[in-house]
Structure 1
């Protein structure tokens, strides 16, 4: 009976491992498709595709925007934390 339980556990573990590998494979394929779509869109728009270009664009976009319209911030709320 003990050998039978070990065989059932081994088969269930094998099925679970195969299922996990299938899910990982689907995740990798969907990620590759998403990256491919982003690459095609970047090429169509004429922008470079890469991490360096993304961070350069984000840095310049955030520095040009004014977070506060009025530089004098006077309205604050203060609470005591018990």
Structure 2
């Protein structure tokens, strides 16, 4: 009886491992598809595709709009804090 129970557990483990492998393959394929779409769109727009180009674009100051105003300013990064103990 113990052998049958161990065999069923092993079979269940293998089935779950197989489904996990299938889900991982689907996730990797969808990620590759998304990166491929981003690459094609960047090439069609004439922009470089890469991490350096992305960060350079994100760090540029905001472009003024037609009305001459820039987009809403992002809050400044916190560089220093002051802590006080409350008695």
Report TM bin, short chain.
Answer: 0.7 to 0.9
Distance 2:24 2:3 in 1: 31
Corresponding residue for 1:42?
A: 42
The answer for unaligned runs of 5 or more in structure 1 is 69-82
The answer for unaligned runs of 5 or more in structure 2 is 63-69, 75-87
Aligned-pair RMSD on alpha carbons? 1.4
Q: What is the TM-score when the length of structure 2 is the normalising length?
A: 0.71
The number of aligned residues is 66
1:33 correspondence with 2:39: no
Deviation at 1:67, TM superposition (A): 1.2
Q: What is the TM-score when the length of structure 1 is the normalising length?
A: 0.76
Distance 2:56 2:45 in 1: 17
Give 4+ residue runs of structure 1 displaced > 2 Å after superposition: 63-66
